[in-house]
Chain A
Amino acid sequence: AQKVTQAQTEISVVEKEDVTLDCVYETRDTTYYLFWYKQPPSGELVFLIRRNSFDEQNEISGRYSWNFQKSTSSFNFTITASQVVDSAVYFCALMEYGNKLVFGAGTILRVKS
């Protein structure tokens, strides 16, 4: 069985604050992929990052960074110096063999000016 847990239902921050979105996953596979997607109010899903299970290097892309730790089965996402445009629902997802994505429940991020 596979499962993705995003324990934070909703987070509110003030602009310029840093915020970390948590993601914990469960899988029995040794080969798997982890994703983060952003869903702004307009509804479309925007791909943010894909990480395979053999690459534990952290990644930084502008104000975004991701911390992948297999020891704790976590793949956390940090936004530095948050902006109002970052307000959205963020989904963490797991892909195992068969290329099917299993999504977490999502975290609503509200950034206030």
Chain B
Amino acid sequence: SAVISQKPSRDICQRGTSLTIQCQVDSQVTMMFWYRQQPGQSLTLIATANQGSEATYESGFVIDKFPISRPNLTFSTLTVSNMSPEDSSIYLCSVELEVDRGNEQFFGPGTRLTVL
């Protein structure tokens, strides 16, 4: 399995500011993913972050708003830029690892963001 940590665990931010969320994994992984879970909603994939290449964004998400870094195989950051109250969500990173029963996606504990 994988141990994934995220920092911060939660934050309250002012409109117009930016927040960078960190995701650390205890093993080297090729693929990392960032998801958003708006209040009472399901999870939506923001982007896929592979080490050594630009992140691939899903429809509705753009690099200017959610820049991502992937400097090595155990770490990634997601920045939520120029925040508005609509960005209030839980942001989760996940990684895919090969385990006995096949590939499995493990999720971090999430970062609860509230934008005032």
| A→B interface (CB under 8 Å) | 33, 35, 37, 43-45, 47, 50, 52, 91, 95, 98-106
Residues of A within 8 A of B33 (CB): 99-101
Q: Contact between A43 and B43 (Cβ–Cβ < 8 Å)? A: no
Contact of A100 among B45, B90, B101, B104 (CB under 8 A): B45
Interface residues of B in 92-110 (CB under 8 A from A): 92, 94, 96, 101-107, 109-110
Residues of A within 8 A of B109 (CB): 43-44
Interface residues of B in 29-61 (CB under 8 A from A): 31, 33, 35, 41-45, 48, 58
Residues of B within 8 A of A101 (CB): 33, 35, 43, 45, 94, 105
| B→A interface (CB under 8 Å) | 31, 33, 35, 41-45, 48, 58, 90, 92, 94, 96, 101-107, 109-110, 112
Q: Contact between A47 and B104 (Cβ–Cβ < 8 Å)? A: yes
Nearest CB of chain B from residue A5's CB, rounded to whole Å: 11
Q: Contact between B42 and A105 (Cβ–Cβ < 8 Å)? A: yes
Q: Contact between A43 and B90 (Cβ–Cβ < 8 Å)? A: yes
Q: Contact between A52 and B42 (Cβ–Cβ < 8 Å)? A: no
Nearest CB of chain B from residue A6's CB, rounded to whole Å: 9
In the docked arrangement, what's the CA distance between A103 and B23, Å? 21
Residues of A within 8 A of B112 (CB): 43
Q: Contact between A45 and B96 (Cβ–Cβ < 8 Å)? A: no
Q: Contact between B90 and A35 (Cβ–Cβ < 8 Å)? A: no
Nearest CB of chain A from residue B7's CB, rounded to whole Å: 15
Contact of A50 among B42, B43, B102 (CB under 8 A): B102
Residues of A within 8 A of B94 (CB): 101
Residue among A35, A100, A106 facing the most chain B CB atoms (10 A cut-off): A100
